[in-house]
Amino acid sequence: MKWKNIAYTSWGATTETEVQAGRPERVRDVINYVEQSAKLETHLLAIGACKSYGDACLNEDANVLLMERMNRILDFDPRSGEITCEPGVTFNELFELFLDKNWMPPVTPGTGYATIGGAVTNDVHGKNHDRDGSFGDHIKWIELVNSKGEIMRVSARKHNDLFRATIAGLGLTGVITAVNFQMKEAPTNAVLVRYKRMNNIKDYIDRLIKARGQYEFSVGWIDMTAKGKNLGRGILEEANFADTNIEYKRLEPKKIPKIIPGFAINRLTTKIFNNRYYHRIPEKGLDKFVPLQKFLYPLDNWKNWNRLYGKKGFYQMQCVLPDKTAELSITRILGACHTAKISSPLAVIKTMGSEGAGRLSFPMKGVTLALDFPNTSRTLNVIRNIHEIVATHGGRIYLAKDNVLDTATFRKMYPNYRDFMNTKDSYDIINLFSSSLSRRIEL
């Protein structure tokens, strides 16, 4: 099997990385590539759609496997909704194939372009976390090729340690070649969304926690430019399945040109945009039927929307904080952004229901906040400040979006890291599987 020199970025596009890439088309190719890399003593990482924001999908000066051609559906039971597929299958494909049979992925991240392999290795969550948990909670078994080139099938019953290390394992335990999981029933292809204005952070978090699990899906947007008594105001979206189907055909996404200057998103444009976005929803709220995919993937209408941030790219920070400390710590995070005069047009808040199944799973019972930051000279400092606040208040940073966390803070946030490392060491003795992220936080 041959390698090809390629350069690519993650979704945040702050750094371009050069690697040697293999592109397996079948399990045999994966084994071959793994054996070659082991012999060459180069690090290896399987990557999917590269929609993670930070360096989880990067492997500087090493080898990667592009899993895009391992994208077959291997089994599907239309009665039970149990499915087996290869890791390169995307969420969009699952919707296109199964929504009209009333099945959808159990949990989906905010883009339909993400792959199932990435969903496993980042244990992704969605707008239904309170009710349905994260992706790993729905997996029955995973087939992977370990660093010796052996095919293993792991589950809660067989090699449970490796199973729990592979869920949210950042691709560090092996190359996934098949995943079996349970799909979710989708009675219709649409949701009835209830849009409500939230006046400030206290009301927002009270409402989120009070309404936890009452709706099938829920997600909120925060106007990061609002200050004082309006601090933390925003629009909450709560949704249940509609009673009937609505007409929907997914359109080809529009492309954003490369020439957008980096200053297109600044504090002024954000303020104008946010103000309009907030006042779009009347004070008494608004109910609207929305196609399911449009509701789940609002940004997928624009391919490469990451280009809006210009050539220097952007950072995203997502944290989760326990219910008890959420209001205080989120107020402090918003305050830190104001002090640094940095704002984020994309600020998302949701509740989370429980811990994930993986050793390095991000979720915990609490409130999660995700913020995009344009890449400016002040950005890294703000993010480090936020990490400090999150760590102090018993929270966690989502590794799939991170570019900045240091080893000590990571260990504080993820106390199970030692279990993870023990498992990795015992199955991947030669430390073949590695990424820019894992080397940064010494995993």
Q: How far is the CB of 3 from another protein (least distance, A)?
A: 5
Closest CA to 258 of 306, 192, 315, 195: 306
Q: Which residues pair with 191 in a beta bridge?
A: 241, 290
Q: Going residue by residue from 273 to 312, which x/- string records binding to another protein, judged by CB under 8 A? A: ----------------------------------------
Residue (75 or 185) nearer to another protein, CB: 75
Q: Is 29 in the site for another protein (CB under 8 A)?
A: yes
Q: How far is the CB of 42 from another protein (least distance, A)?
A: 15
Residue (72 or 280) nearer to another protein, CB: 72
CA dist 352 to 53, 242, 319, 387, 411, Å?
A: 21, 23, 11, 19, 21
Task: Find the binder of another protein among 8, 35, 36, 76 (CB under 8 A).
Answer: 76
Q: Applying CB under 8 A, which part among 42-50, 70-78, 153-161, 278-286 lies near another protein? A: 70-78
Closest CA to 273 of 363, 344, 196, 378: 344
Q: Is 8 in the site for another protein (CB under 8 A)?
A: no
Task: Find the binder of another protein among 16, 18, 26, 272 (CB under 8 A).
Answer: 26
Q: How far is the CB of 426 from another protein (least distance, A)?
A: 27
The whole-angstrom separation of Cα 156 and Cα 55 is: 29
Neighbours of 96 (CB within 10 A): 13
Show contacts with another protein in window 91-150 (CB under 8 A).
97
392: left (phi over 0), alpha (psi -120 to 50) or beta: alpha
Widest distance between CA atoms in the chain: 65
Q: Applying CB under 8 A, which part among 53-61, 67-75, 203-211, 322-330 lies near another protein? A: 67-75
Q: Is 324 in the site for another protein (CB under 8 A)?
A: no
Q: Is 27 in the site for another protein (CB under 8 A)?
A: yes
Place of tokens 């402090």: 332
Closest CA to 367 of 197, 209, 131: 209
CA atoms within 13 A on the CB side of 86: 19
Opening angle at CA 126, ends 379 and 145, nearest 5: 90
CA atoms within 13 A on the CB side of 23: 6
CA dist 375 to 76, 170, 304, 378, Å?
A: 43, 24, 17, 8
Site size for another protein, by CB under 8 A? 19
Q: How far is the CB of 180 from another protein (least distance, A)?
A: 13
Query: What single letter denotes the amino acid at residue 436?
Result: S
Task: Find the binder of another protein among 74, 209, 260, 286 (CB under 8 A).
Answer: 74
Task: Find the binder of another protein among 18, 28, 202, 285 (CB under 8 A).
Answer: 28
Residue (3 or 362) nearer to another protein, CB: 3
Task: Find the binder of another protein among 23, 43, 359, 387 (CB under 8 A).
Answer: 23
Residue (33 or 420) nearer to another protein, CB: 33
Q: Is 18 in the site for another protein (CB under 8 A)?
A: no
Q: Is 72 in the site for another protein (CB under 8 A)?
A: yes
Task: Find the binder of another protein among 38, 73, 281, 308 (CB under 8 A).
Answer: 73
* Alpha-carbon torsion (424, 162, 360, 10), positive or negative: positive
- Residues lying near another protein in the complex (CB under 8 A) are found at 1-4, 22-23, 25-29, 69, 72-76, 86, 97
